[in-house]
Homo-oligomer: A and B are copies of this chain.
Amino acid sequence: MAEPLFNRLALIGIGHIGASIAGALALHPGTVGHLVIADANPAHLQRAEELHLGDEYVADAAQAVQGADGVILCTPVGSFAALAEAIAPHLMPGCVLSDVGSTKQSVIRDVGPCVPEAVHFVPAHPMAGTEFSGPDAGVPHLFEGRWCLLTPPEGTHEAAVNKIETLWKTLGARTARMGAAHHDRVLAIVSHLPHLIAFTICGTADDLADETREEVLQFAATGFRDFTRIAASDPVMWRDIFVNNKEALLEMFSRFSEDAQAMARAVRWGDTDYIEDRINHSRKIRKSLIDIKQA
């Protein structure tokens, strides 16, 4: 049997993504020699053990990383600064430290300065996930055919980047490398802003007077139902994403907001040409998506 990619891999945080990684690794035995699972939430840790997601279960992240040649942070990005500080002194020389956060500049900002000289830091972002949370929400096939974006800072040890790339490819993902700032801009428009909008419109609907609210529920239509599904995602994870990709998110929000106001103005004044033109315009991106077989 080939040598494992990591002799001892520590997953810090066993929520939806952590549990999916553990499940995916179980589909590819031999990829990891020994899988350590850490979670500060005792209920999650116990549940992970009941589900046999790993080989060892540890509450304390600093303890979990000891002797590991691979560590993946799978907690909400807002926890990364404190987490990195706590684990840094315990990271083994040669260890590859990675993460699954949706905001890469903030991760480099929060984790980067703590990383010891001899440790290789490879920020990564598997673009996959459902609206469900917690260790029971693990989906072993989650990453198959999905993208994992790597944003290694310049000068990152190439062998370490390759290892993380190989890990994700083993779990079925396609990988691509890009700068962290560019990643954050792309994610702001394809993921973060759509979530902010979905959360908002569901809140707006819930705030309606009781009679209308009842019928909103009863007659929820396509469109709204899709929004509610998006809005079912984990609050802490998304809160952290929003504030940690503030600049790009607010820029995209500002563009969207201008465009939405222009559309509302056209509705008010009955400017049917403008409305039709903008709708046709928006269909172009759908067509492009279908053309490249993404939709």
A residues engaging B (CB < 8 A)? Answer: 78, 127, 129, 147, 149, 176, 178, 182, 185-187, 189-191, 193-208, 211-212, 215-232, 235-236, 238-239, 242-243, 246, 249-250, 252-257, 259-261, 263-264, 267-268, 270, 272, 275-276, 278-286, 288-289, 292, 294-295
Can you offer 12 A-B residue contacts whose CB atoms are under 8 A?
A127-B219, A190-B220, A201-B256, A206-B282, A216-B285, A226-B230, A231-B279, A231-B283, A238-B279, A243-B275, A250-B264, A254-B264
Determine how many copies of this chain the complex contains. Answer: 2
Contact A186 B219 (CB under 8 A): yes
From the candidates B191, B196, B216, name the one contacting A222 in the complex (CB within 8 A): B191
Report the separation of the CA atoms of residues A105 and B76 in the bound assembly, to the nearest whole angstrom: 47
User: What residues of B have a CB within 8 angstroms of the CB of A206 in the complex?
Assistant: 281-282, 284-285
9 more contacts with CB within 8 A, not counting A189-B216, A204-B255, A231-B286, are: A182-B211, A189-B201, A189-B212, A199-B263, A199-B278, A217-B289, A225-B294, A226-B226, A257-B261
* B contact residues around A198 at 8 Å (CB): 223, 282
A260 touches B253 (CB 8 A): yes
Q: How far is the CA of A185 from the CA of B278 in the complex (A)?
A: 24
If A219-B149, A289-B220, A295-B225 touch, whether A282 touches B200 (CB-CB below 8 Å) is yes
Contacts of A246 in B (CB 8 A): 267-268, 270
Q: Closest CB-CB distance, A49 to chain B, in whole Å?
A: 28
A215-B182, A221-B190 given as contacts; is B249 within 8 A of A267 (CB)? yes
Q: How far is the CA of A143 from the CA of B148 in the complex (A)?
A: 40
For A230, list chain B residues within 8 Å (CB): 222-223, 226
Asked if B282 contacts A203 (CB within 8 A), the reply is yes
Minimal beta-carbon separation of A36 from chain B (angstroms): 30
Quote the shortest CB–CB distance from A175 to chain B (angstroms).
12
